Amino acid sequence: MIELTTPISEEQIRKLKIGDSVLLSGTVVTGRDAAHKYLIENFIRSGGEIPPQEKALHDRLKELLKESVIYHCGPVVRKDEQGKWHFVAAGPTTSIREEPYQAEVMEYFTLRGVIGKGGMGPKTLEGLKKVGACYFHAVGGAATLIAECCKEVIEVHKYQEFGPPEAFWVLRVEKFPLVVTMDSHGGSIHEKILEDSRKALESLEI
């Protein structure tokens, strides 16, 4: 089992290969469909013109995501009597919806990893190679167990605008169990599964 703590260096990521088991600690940020669309439209494809009202969040996300990890997650949350947020369930959501955006987001923010389920496509795989990042598969159906690894909600952004599942939640995690299923060398377990499935289909006599 390999233990990693954010910020993660490119050298550390380049050592990882598909099939490696990882325990991740440190700061991660959640982001799903609305979050990725927001990053693309307001920052990455804005032609350098960042809306003034979004400048503070841009700079904060640049700081938070550099050499860190974005988690495809729509959590169930609660607020305690002191007004502090807690994750009740934090299972991964399907990652392929972010395929049109992920490579650009990784490069712009110098991400070292993406957490989700189901894997991603060729555009993201090329992005992983270019930036020096990995796709980490989190176990689906274990949302409550994963929430136990989310030790603290540090802050949240775009809560009112996007709602709880789509907001940027900034978390401190401890020993979050993950498996590398796409690495920075072009390896992809998901690609192999797809290839094997196609071969099996072609071999069937219909």
Tokens standing for residue 116: 């989700």
Grade residue 139 by pLDDT with cuts at 50, 70 and 90.
confident
The pLDDT value given to residue 186: 94
Do residues 179 and 20 make contact, with C-beta atoms less than 8 angstroms apart? yes
Residue of 169, 176, 172 lying closest to 76 (CA atoms):
169
Burial class (CB in 10 A: 0-12, 13-18, 19+), 11: exposed
- Answer yes or no: is pLDDT of 197 > 80: no
Residue pLDDT, tens place only, 78-121 = 999 998 999 988 889 999 999 999 999 999 999 999 999 999 99
- Domain residue spans in the chain? 2-203
In the CATH scheme, what architecture does the domain 2-203 have? Alpha-Beta Barrel (3.20)
Judged by phi (left if over 0) then psi (alpha if -120 to 50, else beta), residue 42 lies in alpha
Catalytic: which of 36, 137, 157, 190?
36
Residue pLDDT, tens place only, 45-58 = 988 788 899 999 99
157 catalytic per annotation: no
Averaged over 130-143, what is the pLDDT? 86
Tokens standing for residue 95: 């990652």
* Alpha carbon distances (Å) from 38 to 78, 99, 111: 25, 15, 17
Site of tokens 């959590």: 75
Averaged over 128-143, what is the pLDDT? 88
